Chains A and B, each alone.
Chain A
Amino acid sequence: MSGLPGLAAAAIRRRVAAHEVSCEEVTREQLARIEALEPAIDAFLLVAPERALVSAKRLDAALAGGAPAPALAGVPLAVKDVLHVEGLPTTCGSRILDGYHPPFAATAVARLEAAGAIVLGKTNMDEFAMGSSTERSAFRPTRNPWDRSRVPGGSSGGSAAAVAARLAPLALGTDTGGSIRQPAAFCGVVGLKPTWGRVSRYGLVAFASSLDQAGPLGRTVEDVALACSALFGRDPLDATSADEPLPDFAPALAGEAAGLRVGVPWGFLANGVEVETMGRFREALHALESAGASLVEVPLTHLPHAIAAYYLVATAEASSNLARYDGVRYGRRAPGAHDLPALYGRTRDLGFGPEVKRRIILGTFALSSGYYDAYYLRAQKVRTLIRRDFEAAFEACDVIATPTTPTPAFRLGEKTDDPLQMYLADIFTVPANLAGLPALSLPCGLAGGLPVGLQLTARAFDESMLLRAGAAYQRVTRHHELTPPF
């Protein structure tokens, strides 16, 4: 082994572009590491070595013929199994999609592949991205590489664990209420949820359409920026994808913390953050301050209501989006039903796991006659209040900092019987989804041997500000270089 699997995406691309190593070599070494270590982590639902090698050889042939190396040439990529990859099945971590082969590819995946990324396989996730631990996968839990008795977070737990364990330098996740940032924090990697509309949702299986957004996980801010350059942009196949100018991230990556105004909602952080996590957060703020940033307190008064608003909006949208799984057009069908209502009911009872059913019930209730105004409509209005809070806060600062999560990774099984406790732990991540803002989670040290995440949130379409702050932070700290004891 030449240590290729330990390299960052940018370093792999540089070596491939310089013809020091072939895409095939990189792919083979990465696959060998997966074969050796995957049984201990269970990050993947499917590893696709043949497809990966075909892609790698095709790119090698192009490069040998003198083609310029694209931005992610030869970079191994793990894809959350909620995004369609050409030629591979999609399960969404659910039994209801048994045997489903999507007839089209997700734009996000297609763009990374066009930029030279080599897809290694599909990563594990909570069923239909509903969960914060990856224990809600219908297949198996994924383990946290830092402590295998703990969860990797979720719902993009497989993607985060794969990056942390060096099974892939780069991964795609999706984030509806923190599903990129929370597992990134729990596994000690970088995760970015872009602005809603930045990345096409075409070929991303819908959970809550007004909140869902795909984004990258990597070990450095530079790698995440590389992925963003390929991912971002208007897609005619997604009417909600934004026609916004695409920034060049190079100046952001070279940028300084000097002059950066960091807002901190101290009032909101007063309760419920575990002591050591709070310690790492304060150290992170201090590091930014030492590098020239200034701190300012911001109020964000409605954030305590974000979880309630989120779980009503998200489940309402989910109950509608998941109506399509009816055993008629694709996936699994329950046997023996003699009429259509029984076919739907049994197929859905058999195919969905408990968390998905619970959320469909809650969402259908919130939308049902007599309760719509008090729950769904009110939650949508609170969403406006939260968005206004952010707009007011960004008058006084450039980014808003919080811990990504109130605690480090919890134990497998610790919260599975108490859904409300699981929901409450999403308190710091759901506001960015409700407001549609970009947010970045960065490793900021360990608490009790487990990674802690620093979350930065910025104005809509100002990912450059996040990458600037993140790159500046990673220049003055070494937390992102820590490796799991594994």
Chain B
Amino acid sequence: MPRVTEETVDHVARLARLSLTEEERRVFARQLEEILAWAESLQALDTSGVPPMSHPREAETLRDDEPRAGVDRATALAGAPEARDGLFRVPRVIGG
């Protein structure tokens, strides 16, 4: 059973691109530890030779790969918080 510290939560929050407040970090560390302690029962099960199940259906039915119209650019951009020159606008990524 891993000890969940605020540093653990910090690390995971960075992976998940979440900025948390100190209060959230403290509360989530405690709750995550509680939840994982309780999920510990899974560790006692013998799962040797048991295949993992990623979803309930064995076979997926794929449609034919034929070109068709998608969402056009203006529609796709219509919901953007910021757009310019037909593109999604974000803060500078390179340089600066």
Contacts and interface: CB of A to CB of B under 8 A. Distances in A.
Interface residues of B, number: 52
A304 B56 contact: no
A226 B31 CA distance: 43
Contact of A435 (B9, B47, B54, B56): B56
A338 B91 contact: yes
Nearest to A98: B81
A99 interface: yes
Interface in A345-396: 345-346, 348-349, 352, 354, 357-358, 360-362, 364-365, 368, 371, 374-375, 377-385, 387
A449 interface: no
B31 A419 contact: yes
A368 B42 contact: no
Contacts of B79: 99-101, 103, 329-331
Contact of B17 (A345, A354, A383): A345
Given A196-B55, A304-B41, A379-B42, A362 B19 contact: no
Q: Which of B2, B18, B79, B82 has the most chain A CB within a 10 Å cutoff?
A: B18
Interface string A323-357: 10011111111000111111111101100101001
Contacts of A383: 52-53
A342 B92 CA distance: 12
B47 A385 contact: yes
Interface string B45-74: 101001111111100111100000001000
B24 interface: yes
Given A329-B80, A338-B91, A375-B39, A460 B24 contact: no
B4 to A, nearest CB: 8
B9 A380 contact: no
B91 A420 contact: no
Contacts of B45: 302, 305, 378, 382, 385
B61 to A, nearest CB: 5
B24 A382 contact: no
B9 A361 contact: yes
A196 B57 contact: yes
A345 B28 contact: no
Contacts of B81: 327-328, 330-333
A18 B38 CA distance: 58
Contacts of A242: 57, 61
B34 interface: yes
Given A305-B45, A420-B31, A436 B20 contact: no
Given A196-B56, A344-B17, A239 B61 contact: yes
B56 A436 contact: yes
B90 A328 contact: yes
Given A101-B78, A348-B19, A371-B2, A384 B51 contact: yes
Contacts of B75: 103
A197 B42 contact: no
Which of B17, B34, B60, B93: most chain A CB closer than 10 A? Answer: B17
B1 to A, nearest CB: 10
Interface stretch (A3-11, A29-37, A307-315): A307-315
Contacts of B17: 323, 326, 341, 344-345, 348
A361 B52 contact: no
Contact of A346 (B9, B19, B53): B19
15 contacts: A99-B79, A236-B63, A239-B62, A302-B45, A305-B45, A311-B39, A328-B80, A328-B81, A329-B88, A349-B18, A361-B12, A361-B28, A364-B12, A380-B54, A384-B52
Given A340-B91, A349-B20, A365-B32, 6 more contacts: A103-B76, A103-B79, A240-B60, A358-B28, A378-B43, A380-B54
